[in-house]
Structure 1
Amino acid sequence: MSCRACAFIRKGALNLALALDRFANALLMGSANETLSQRTARARAAGHRWASVACAVLTWAANRLGTPGDHCANSLDGDGTYGVELWHWSPPSD
């Protein structure tokens, strides 16, 4: 297989993974325009412990696939805006 074909297949696989990620987020009552990583990063910022664990797992998986750094933090929009959900994350009441 040529390098051009490999790049085409890789890009298609990444696009499909992104679409499935956004679809899963929409099924969980999140915005269809954002990923589970973005949503989890906001939950972590709000102080939810489960989100810290989830971000660690997502970062570990992304690092194994060649994406360096904190995957959840990298997934947030660069302009400081966040996606829209049907509810707002609030700090846990511990």
Structure 2
Amino acid sequence: MAGGVKTRLILLALIPLFLAADVLWWARYLWSVVFSTYRAWKLAISKDQNANTAFNGSEDETVSSRAARARDQGSRWGCILCRLLDAIDPDHCNKSKGT
């Protein structure tokens, strides 16, 4: 997408919408933790994908999936993160591949 002044102004104008969406996300997430753990996991995955995008990854992939690929390629950060995540949830990175 072009990086002209108009595009930048549009992106800046979206900030209030993003902030409102974040407030709604947190409210829905807390509600879902109590009433629908399935929906809470879906919301958690959406934040995970958002974080991956913020760290220059694909918007369609979670940090765990990216870490698993990095680990498999011998990357130090992938090995460390997968070791940490696998300690919390056994085999987490392998289960997360492709998500």
TM-score range with shorter-chain normalisation? 0.5 to 0.7
**Higher relative contact order, structure no. (Cα contacts within 8 Å, ≥ 6 residues apart):** 1
Identity across matched positions, percent: 38
Give the whole-Å Cα distance in 2 for the aligned partners of 1:14 and 1:20. 10
- The 5-angstrom pairing of residues 13-28 of structure 1 reads 13-28=40-55
Give the aligned partner of residue 92 of structure 2. Answer: 71
Give the aligned partner of residue 65 of structure 2. Answer: 38
**Cα pair 2:52 2:61 within 8 Å, conserved:** yes
How far does the alpha carbon of each residue in 1:51-71 deviate from its partner, in whole angstroms, 9 at most, with x for none? 1111011112224xxxxxx11
Counterpart residue identity of residue 72, structure 2: A
Shift of 1:6: 7.9
Q: Which has the higher helix share?
A: 2
Runs of 4+ in 1 over 3 A off after TM superposition: 5-8
Q: How many residues align?
A: 68
Give the whole-Å Cα distance in 2 for the aligned partners of 1:6 and 1:76. 24
| Gaps in structure 2 of 5+ consecutive residues | 1-31
Give the aligned partner of residue 29 of structure 1. Answer: 56
**Cα pair 2:67 2:82 within 8 Å, conserved:** yes
Give the aligned partner of residue 83 of structure 2. Answer: 56
TM-score with structure 1 setting the length: 0.62
Larger Rg: 2
TM-score with structure 2 setting the length: 0.59
**Cα pair 2:49 2:61 within 8 Å, conserved:** yes
Structure 1 residues 12 and 48: alpha-carbon distance in aligned structure 2, compared to 1, 3 A threshold = same
Quote the RMSD (CA, aligned, Å).
Answer: 2.3
